[in-house]
Chains A and B, each alone.
Chain A
Amino acid sequence: MKLYRRPSEFAWWVTNRAYFLFVVRELTSVFIAGYGVVLLVLLQRLAAGPQTYAAYLRFLASPGMIFFHLVALAAALYHSVTWFRLAPQAMPVRLRGRRVPPPAIVAAGYAAWGAISLVVVWIVLRGPR
């Protein structure tokens, strides 16, 4: 029996919308790690003294860096949304023998996200103590 093997598509993730969104989701990790680097440099400049810190803040205010952070923010948001959406699939929660409905788990994720974010904002913005 002579079988036919269809050639594999090299650009498989460009032509299919679901595959493309998947690759975008995976690449959000690049921007989050990139932000990690920028944050570490900020902490380094913070340790070096007020002038160094102020200079770095000016650099962060440049159009290029603001654009990077906007993209990184979009990437982080897309990561968070997809992460919470997939959580119930990865970890089904069972209470008293019945499965907790997935939307409840997604909502719990968002609730934790919102609550912790607010706590962080409060900690950072309450200023000099």
Chain B
Amino acid sequence: MVGAAVTLDVFRYRPEQSAEPSFQTYEIPYREDWVVLDALNYIKDHLDGSLAYRWSCRMGVCGSCGMMVNGTPRLTCSTFLREFYPRAVRVEPLANFPVARDLITVLDDFLEKLVRVRPWIVREGEQPLTGGEYRQTPGELDRYKQFSMCINCTLCYAACPIYALEPHFVGPAAIALAQRYNQDSRDEGGLARLRALSTPEGIWACTLVGECTTVCPTGVDPAGAIQQAKLAAALDWLRRVLVPWRNR
């Protein structure tokens, strides 16, 4: 539709200008096949080069372009303007993270928690190369594949009200990725991860609000991962209580 326009209200934070953020309104041409990221790129290229935001693959696999679009955490490369047109589109940085500038959040807290759950194969000892590959059946792969789809976009942290209230909460993605490795037949790190997970700020802080799963763009179902982790931890606790002499 030639001539049609859509309004974007964009969160601006420029600490060198003001300690308080503001909203800036832009009129951009409306194209039916444009996503919010296209609109931001149009702003940057033609209207306001000072706008700062993250993006990369523009096809929903890198996890860089997460922002709040009309109050909901979305990947802006996968959110079409036509979903909102002709209403205005409000774009803000992902909730529950500090803002460095404009639409850019600081992810240090998430990254620290991610490392804390050891999202890699942990083994007592490595098989020698002569022993060949670690073999895994399709059934064994199926047990963790869903959780491996996480692209670290942190939409789930923006959607989680517990993380909003309780910044120490380890969070959906980190726990889902811990489960991805706990469920991997090649991994032996369950106990090490349990120390990071089965704590009041770990899995037990979660009350299954479920919004993390709702907003996840790759179908990881972090809420499910956390509940499964709770059951696994509870069974481990029962074993320690009922059979304490079993060396763990």
Contact = CB atoms under 8 A, between A and B. Distances in A.
A1 interface: yes
Given A8-B164, A22-B209, A91 B231 contact: yes
Contacts of A1: 15, 100
Interface string A88-109: 0111101001110000000000
A3 B209 CA distance: 29
B125 interface: no
Given A8-B164, A12-B161, A86-B210, A3 B231 contact: no
Contact of B15 (A2, A19, A26): A2
A18 interface: yes
A18 B212 CA distance: 11
A70 B227 CA distance: 31
B110 interface: no
B139 A98 contact: yes
B137 interface: yes
Interface string B90-110: 000001001110000010000
A4 interface: yes
Contacts of A12: 161, 164-165
B13 A19 contact: no
Interface in B173-217: 207-211, 213-214
A126 interface: no
A90 B210 CA distance: 11
B119 interface: no
Nearest to B215: A18
A74 B221 CA distance: 28
Contacts of A2: 15, 19
Contacts of A16: 71
B132 to A, nearest CB: 23
B86 interface: no
B228 A19 contact: no
A89 B227 contact: yes
Contacts of B99: 3-6
Contacts of A78: none
A97 B164 contact: no
Q: What 7 pairs across the A-B complex have the smallest Cβ distances?
A: A97-B139, A90-B227, A89-B224, A3-B98, A2-B15, A4-B99, A22-B209
29 contacts: A1-B100, A2-B15, A2-B19, A3-B98, A4-B13, A4-B21, A5-B98, A6-B99, A9-B164, A12-B161, A12-B164, A13-B161, A18-B209, A22-B207, A22-B210, A86-B208, A86-B210, A89-B223, A89-B224, A90-B230, A90-B231, A91-B227, A91-B228, A91-B231, A92-B228, A94-B143, A97-B137, A97-B139, A97-B142
Given A5-B98, A6-B95, A92-B224, 18 more contacts: A3-B99, A3-B100, A5-B99, A9-B164, A13-B161, A18-B211, A18-B214, A19-B209, A22-B161, A22-B209, A86-B208, A89-B227, A91-B227, A92-B228, A94-B143, A97-B137, A97-B139, A98-B142
